[in-house]
Chains A and B, each alone.
Chain A
């Protein structure tokens, strides 16, 4: 690029243009020169610097009016030269500085000359380049007192430009130039750092400009937001660099009281400032005002880079001028603290970094003054907090609380100074309580019910890895912003972390006890305090802070837990009592309607439908929330204590489980999630694992509480939940409790039967589930095999298939053989071979397991339990309460399932239960009949022979009779009929009859009874469902006796004329009518197809 490398060549090239420029000063000539300069190498140009500069300076100095364009090009050319060369002589530097500054000076006014923006920019850049091109030693010499007037002139000029100009470019250039002039340039060209003496000299010099600079910059900074963020950022930078340089602690420490005589002329000496103590105080007072103004304006600046710059400002000033600017420390810290929760993550990060740095360097704790200021600020904030929480909007609250959070972070353990003042603690806690108040008018909370029984569905895997994520949305009275809640959470955690935990817990426990109004909030705060105290979610900024020890924490948690789960805080009314007792759908719905209809009056006055002692919706809602919060608290405590929480399980798990079985959806959800938290904290894989491992604690609670059932009416619920969620390993532990339950049931069967029947149901369901495998593998197969063996004769080998396929000769032979054998049996030839055979085969079977032939083996625990329960069922079957009867039938059903393999126990009990069951089947509410029929089917399945004659004698006639009498009704009825109870009853009977007939292996006469009763339902006039059910009955009948069924169906409707295979045989005429109008045609055809 460089064409002229040597000075000689360059000189010869430049000479003509320089001469030309000296002669005629035109823009063109300047441009010629500049063009030539491009081709000269830097080293050559350095040699010729003075020579080249001469014509340019000459042009500037020539008196008389000049065209701006010319000056601009001259300045630009000058700048070019300077940018490629160094200024090595101080004279030259000073002169150039003056000459350049003069370009903008108008002799008439104090203001900068009204010149074009381009020129201004060129000059500013020129000045900046000049200062950069000055040689290191030269530049230091430049800043001597004598330069003060000229420097001051330039500084004020630039400040004016920065403040007044419209052009953003000029403003920024001016600010940057100022930075260079004030030796605060942050470009790479100043490798040399100043020693202390030099710093002090410069500081002395610049101190004169401080008022002007700071005020002008403040005006710029606090100007219109619209001026653009870069200007504000540059101004802020310049401001703090200048201030922190001039007011630096290190410099001021060295200033002696007496001003040294400087060897300068008087005029200049007047301008000099001596930075002694009084000056420092005055200046810092004034600066404080400016800083406050700046902070006020900048901390809410919409652009994040500006706020970021503010953090830098705070950091620089607090670190460098902590003593000189001690009065500004308060506002500065407040600014910093207020930005802790800034919406911009960059600002937040920077802020946290700054806070951490302060903490690391003990700026706050180590420095008495700072800590005092912070405490003072916190004191005043605590004082005004309740008022602020009352009056501010969400945004305002957010910034106020952010501020509070920041103070806590900065103060760390010193926060106790504030907490130990009773008045302040009081105000702080009241404010927190106030802002956390929940909105309890939501009706849904009370309405929502848990429908599925005991199974706690959640497993640890399905829950998010952060178990504390609030899953239940809460609505607060005084704010809606979710962020505020998170902020408050953080606040409480920090308080718990740094504050005196005993003091805080005492305070909030006192509030908790003081009034229902505070209780929920206090509990929320307590929960977070404990989590904070464990130090799990808090970043510790203060290394020497000692956390609460695990033992202490456990003690505290234990006492809070005790309070939470005490009688008066745990057993709150969350729904209307009738609902509590009633568990059936009907009751619940009625209850719900009652609530909904009254809901609108909730806010106005107390609930009118209920008199004073009855709970209002609001109070129930509030109670529900309180329980939820307390449950959540238990989860949080587990989280805080980790494995240590295992020791508390003996007291905590029972109440939680109790709530897991609660009817209210919200509560049971909260309890489940609390249990999940416990699982996570204590290292259990699943809820089941948790319950299994701690069943001893639970059983303890259950058995003790069963003793005072009136005080602990929910005890059976716990057992129920436990049973639903556990496995067979639980059985040995609960065995004695089950005995207790049964004993208590015997004692209270009139009052508390409902809840106990619930438990029995859960118990038997659990037993049926746990021991279903052994049951299936053992006895029942035996049983069915036995049935198969003894009655094989009556059945075709493969009923379903065999019916349709062509019959082989072997089949016929087999059939005949069977027939003969059967005939023998029927004639009584093999009289011993019948039913007794099975019962006889029973004892030997049992004996195989016996150690000794004489000693009956002890029955398995589940069988013992089921036997005991079934005994109770026999009595409870005739309970006056419909719901209980229904439930008892379910239990009975399960008892039969559990006992199926132990006929010796089952049959006597079935015998005892029979009369009562018959009563249910024949003379009871239709609902009960349905349920009883279900039991009958199970019973028929499990002990068929035992039941056959009883069934035929006691029940079949009634059932058949009712089917026959109901048939005309259902045939006439419209489509709505299928929803009626009567129809359901018919359906249930039809559905049940088929399998029963097959299971019980009814005799021919009884089968005919069944067939006759069901035949009518094959009519197309019957509801479709009933037809289907009836068809199914016949399918079962076909399995038992295909021939007579075929005959019966053909009697009803005969689709084809039967032609005898040989003319010698009589033609057979069946009575079935083959007309189009036969209502049975469709169903009979379908059935006959099955038979073919």
Chain B
């Protein structure tokens, strides 16, 4: 790790603890997603997908599972996403099914399902454009393909296939997005060879591609406002890359880690910090702008598979030890203009976290 912070020696603060821990999934946790809680006073719900194919819905108020969804035939649930317009949940499972659930008013029924054709670990992505229609990107039939569907009609928009000479391997992670200025949907995809590519979906061509890692990209997150993204892979480094006006990707910097293997990367909705899920059982927290390491959260006793942020700033980490830890770090300020992680706060957590 980088040079220790000056306050480290002086401060005897104990390492940070999770705010609380959710138990009861009875199997490894592979997907996490916060749901609701943005507008209303109610605390958000947390959705978790487990190796045993169950999706648990947790109330963060009572800290207990309020419902369990069983729709993937005992196969691992790898991805969870709610749609903005309603109480609808998408879950992706290793049983080669994408299920659409209706969660409104306490219901939990499968309303639709999309067959998957790739057995990889690639998580899908959703771009909601309007109330009715939304776009879904998922790994396609061919091992290198990404398929784009128009939902809810399930009509195939296109299949994005790399040029024949590129050979990037399987897609590992996807992110659909749309710049504020243009109506064209874009897709970021991380590939098995460690490269990240930007696709223009409507033209079905790669705008730009950059090799970020030497190992497969395991997870990335993209900050569309700053046009910057961060990716983690099986190797010992994080890569930060950016997108310029010409839609060209370029690696800004890489950040060395002590242990290899990042399973997931998430930037907090307020774009101040980011968290990584490590194979070394640890969650690492970085300052997003400077990439300064802020904290190493060690609690789990097995690989951390996924991390997720709630809109109110809570961080959840799911791990192979069947536990989900909930952390409250650097509370989100309502006043966005003040620079987050000023001296006092940053110093404090940083000091004990890096110990």
Contacts and interface: CB of A to CB of B under 8 A. Distances in A.
Interface of A: 646-647, 650, 696-697, 699-700, 703-704, 707-708, 711, 732-733, 736, 739-740, 743
A647 B14 contact: no
B321 A700 contact: no
Interface residues of B, number: 18
Nearest to B323: A736
A739 B321 CA distance: 11
Contacts of A697: 63
Nearest to B24: A696
Interface string B1-35: 00000000000001101101101101000000000
Given A708-B14, A711-B14, A739-B301, A647 B61 contact: yes
Contacts of A700: 20-21, 23, 63
Interface string B183-203: 000000000000000000000
A707 B301 CA distance: 12
B18 A704 contact: yes
Contacts of A743: 301
Nearest to A651: B20
A650 B14 contact: no
23 contacts: A646-B62, A647-B61, A647-B62, A650-B62, A650-B63, A696-B24, A696-B63, A696-B64, A699-B23, A700-B21, A700-B63, A704-B17, A704-B18, A707-B15, A708-B14, A708-B17, A732-B26, A733-B23, A736-B301, A736-B322, A739-B301, A740-B301, A743-B301
Task: Select the residue from A696, A697, A733, A736 with max chain B CB neighbours within 10 A.
Answer: A696
B286 to A, nearest CB: 23
Contacts of B24: 696, 733
Contacts of A703: 21
Contacts of B323: 736
Contacts of A646: 62
A297 to B, nearest CB: 61
A38 B21 CA distance: 101
Given A700-B23, A707-B17, 13 more contacts: A646-B62, A650-B20, A650-B62, A696-B23, A699-B23, A704-B17, A704-B21, A707-B15, A733-B23, A736-B23, A736-B301, A736-B321, A736-B323
Contacts of B15: 707
Contacts of A699: 23
A739 B299 CA distance: 13
Nearest to B63: A650
Contacts of A736: 23, 301, 321-323
Contacts of B301: 736, 739-740, 743
A797 to B, nearest CB: 51
Contacts of A647: 61-62
Interface string B301-335: 10000000000000000000111000000000000
B54 to A, nearest CB: 15
A499 to B, nearest CB: 27
A708 B13 CA distance: 11
A700 B62 CA distance: 13
Which 10 A-B pairs have CB atoms at the shortest separation, nearest pair first?
A: A704-B17, A700-B21, A700-B20, A708-B14, A650-B63, A696-B23, A733-B23, A707-B17, A703-B21, A699-B23
B62 to A, nearest CB: 7
A166 B26 CA distance: 94
A562 to B, nearest CB: 14
Nearest to B64: A696
A707 B14 CA distance: 10
A740 B323 CA distance: 13
A733 to B, nearest CB: 6
A708 B322 CA distance: 22
Contacts of B17: 704, 707-708
B66 to A, nearest CB: 13
Nearest to B65: A696
A947 B14 CA distance: 49
Contacts of A696: 23-24, 63-64
A708 B299 CA distance: 12
Contacts of A650: 20, 62-63
Contacts of A704: 17-18, 20-21
Contacts of A732: 26
Nearest to A701: B20
A743 B302 CA distance: 14
A754 B194 CA distance: 52
Nearest to A695: B23
A293 B18 CA distance: 70
Contacts of B62: 646-647, 650
Interface string B34-64: 0000000000000000000000000001111
B27 to A, nearest CB: 12
Interface in B143-192: none
B116 to A, nearest CB: 29
Nearest to B19: A704
Nearest to B321: A736
Contacts of B63: 650, 696-697, 700
Nearest to A734: B23
B70 to A, nearest CB: 18
Nearest to B18: A704
A646 B299 CA distance: 27
A732 B323 CA distance: 12
A708 B298 CA distance: 13
Contacts of B20: 650, 700, 704
A103 B15 CA distance: 105
Contacts of B299: 707
A711 B15 CA distance: 12
Nearest to B62: A647
A650 B22 CA distance: 12
B45 to A, nearest CB: 16
B30 to A, nearest CB: 18
Contacts of B321: 736
B68 to A, nearest CB: 15
B295 to A, nearest CB: 15
A345 to B, nearest CB: 46
A708 B16 CA distance: 10
Nearest to A739: B301
Contacts of B26: 732
Contacts of B18: 704
Nearest to B17: A704
Interface string B60-86: 011110000000000000000000000
Nearest to B301: A739
A1077 to B, nearest CB: 73
Nearest to A649: B62
A695 to B, nearest CB: 9
A306 B322 CA distance: 76
Contacts of B322: 736
Contacts of A739: 301
Task: Select the residue from B23, B24, B63 with max chain A CB neighbours within 10 A.
Answer: B23
A704 B17 CA distance: 7
B304 to A, nearest CB: 15
A701 to B, nearest CB: 9
A594 to B, nearest CB: 33
A646 B64 CA distance: 12
Interface string B206-236: 0000000000000000000000000000000
B150 to A, nearest CB: 43
A813 B340 CA distance: 96
A743 B26 CA distance: 21
A703 B300 CA distance: 11
Task: Select the residue from B15, B21, B24 with max chain A CB neighbours within 10 A.
Answer: B21
A707 B18 CA distance: 11
A647 B61 CA distance: 8
Nearest to A697: B63
A151 to B, nearest CB: 76
B74 to A, nearest CB: 15
A740 B321 CA distance: 12
Interface in B253-287: none
B52 to A, nearest CB: 14
Contacts of A740: 301
